[in-house]
Amino acid sequence: MSRTRTALLAALALVAGTAGAAVAAIPPDVGAAAVPCTVEYKVQNQWDTGFTTAVTVTNNSAAKSSWAVKWSYAGNQKVTSGWNAKLSQSGTAVTAANESYNGTLSTGGSVSFGFNGTYSGTNALPTAFTLDGVTCNVDDGGTDPTDPTDPGTGSRVDNPYAGAKVYVNPEWKAKATAETGGSRIANQPTGVWLDRIAAINGVNGGMGLRAHLDAALAQKGSDELVVQLVIYNLPGRDCAALASNGELGPTEIDKYKTQYIDPIAAILKDTKYAGLRIVTTVEIDSLPNLVTNVSPRATATANCDTMKANGNYVKGVGYALNKLGDAPNVYNYVDAGHHGWLGWDDNFAPSAALFKEAASAEGATVADVHGFIVNTANYSATKEDHFTVNDTVNGASVRTSKWIDWNRYVDEQSYAQAMRTQLVSIGFPSGIGMLIDTSRNGWGGTARPTGPGATTTVDTYVDGGRYDRRIHLGNWCNQSGAGLGERPQAAPAAGIDAYVWMKPPGESDGSSTAIPNDEGKGFDRMCDPTYTGNPRNNNNMSGALPNAPLSGHWFSAQFQELMKNAYPAL
């Protein structure tokens, strides 16, 4: 429920009452134009002792080269950290002043900032704001997280997976059940991939978004339930690969906004679904390409250079975060690659900075980001037990081994925790959590090491002890020998909101040979088991399974291999 504060409107009425006959000459719509400024104060996340808030200020008066917004709390709220504004507090009074880079505020223009705070008792919303001393009217931005009678969903919880069931996709369940032995995992929750515009309404008679949400309501009953959606249709999608290319060309950002994100956002805002916790995985395998696969890197591609130059990845992700985040029961998790992509010193901090740039674009703020997801549709081990990045062999660091190759991390959990720390340090809310996709990173079976490798050299030590049995860390397509990983679970480690199966096991990464199709999907040689590699995998064999179908299509041989090599074993 939207509750617009009326204090300023009453003040305007008082002014009108003293204006005598002149008031009658004011056209009916001038009252709205006369409002000098508006403030949207939205509590994005609230827990027992703290909260995260996003504030948007719109200036309807003369243009400004600097600004300051002020308000007071009725309770004991304290601002602890913020972003995009200089925040200070004296008693209950708070001031948010512009940073050096966002002081300009044009007539009709808006500026957004956010902050984390603490409280005890009731976190009552402020009732009055001023912009440079002038009173603004206020909108709380949607549902009131402090009001249990508000017909919206209320505030977001710190971890949506805590205390909740997770939606089991009936379509994936049917495919899994049809496989020999598949009933053992058919009730595991997996992500629903919205990988093209047609997926919103359902492809070839399949379930669309509303059908999935309706099915989720049926599964929910009286419990809390999470629905996992993969938002995956950026213009020029996944510019460094071909198997996962999409339907939109590099310049079709407007089509992405109006025909893809807007319809999804409209459905997610439907109050019918207000009781669901909707987790969105926002645009995998795209932003990291703008760090690692652009000029002058040796791994650069012309497509990635194009997407960096036109800015449509950043714009698209920002727009998605902004629009999807408007629904108070939506939890946005942005893709953060994996340790074998961004774990190197040259990639790590620049990637975090790029994520913040995208989270501040197209009206989004970092408060629209609930967390990040790593290892989506990939194979990196969650935790390597037999070596750490700090180990040495005969005086040589394991970072010098061919497998680690100077990476700062050896597994996904250490990478996810470190990336979370980095993101908070540059202005993301301290309450963000991480997800790790464990759908295909178990690496069980007879090839799974039971102890460290021989200490002959750093290579024998690492190769003999690593769970991840890929030929090279850069191999990503339908990997031979892979197994199901840890089962989905909430809060498995510090800073980790959940292990998830976002990539449904059994769905192909890409075809082994070129297959004509109307889905915009190309043929990537990394999916060809005979391919001898490229600079991104140091010219090693691809390690891919043969006879694979198009990406997203069912691949029975892969499903069986994943079950056979599952760890923990089925």
Residues assigned a catalytic role: 285, 509
Amino acid occupying residue 180? T
Distance, in Å, from the CA atom of 142 to the CA atom of 80, rounded to the nearest integer, reads 24
439 in helix, strand or coil? coil
Backbone angles phi and psi of 93, in degrees to 5: -90, 130
Distance, in Å, from the CA atom of 144 to the CA atom of 157, rounded to the nearest integer, reads 14
Q: For residue 65, which of 114, 112, 132, 115 has the smallest C-alpha distance?
A: 132
CB-count exposure of residue 28 (10 Å: 0-12, 13-18, 19+): exposed
Count of other CB atoms within 10 angstroms of residue 234: 28
Residue linked to tokens 């510019």: 239
Amino acid occupying residue 320? A
Distance, in Å, from the CA atom of 110 to the CA atom of 39, rounded to the nearest integer, reads 9
Distance, in Å, from the CA atom of 319 to the CA atom of 336, rounded to the nearest integer, reads 17
First to last CA, the chain: 46
Q: For residue 333, which of 431, 435, 234, 405 has the smallest C-alpha distance?
A: 435
Residues 184, 570 contacting (CB under 8 angstroms): yes
Structure tokens at 503: 């990539």
- Please tell me whether the peptide bond between 429 and the residue prior to it is cis, using omega within 30 degrees of 0: no
Residues 374, 437 contacting (CB under 8 angstroms): yes
Please state whether beta strands 392-393 and 86-90 pair in parallel, antiparallel, or not at all (unpaired): unpaired
Residues 174, 183 contacting (CB under 8 angstroms): no
Residues 168, 188 contacting (CB under 8 angstroms): yes
Q: For residue 137, which of 243, 60, 246 has the smallest C-alpha distance?
A: 60
Distance, in Å, from the CA atom of 394 to the CA atom of 390, rounded to the nearest integer, reads 13
Distance, in Å, from the CA atom of 502 to the CA atom of 486, rounded to the nearest integer, reads 12
Distance, in Å, from the CA atom of 252 to the CA atom of 444, rounded to the nearest integer, reads 43
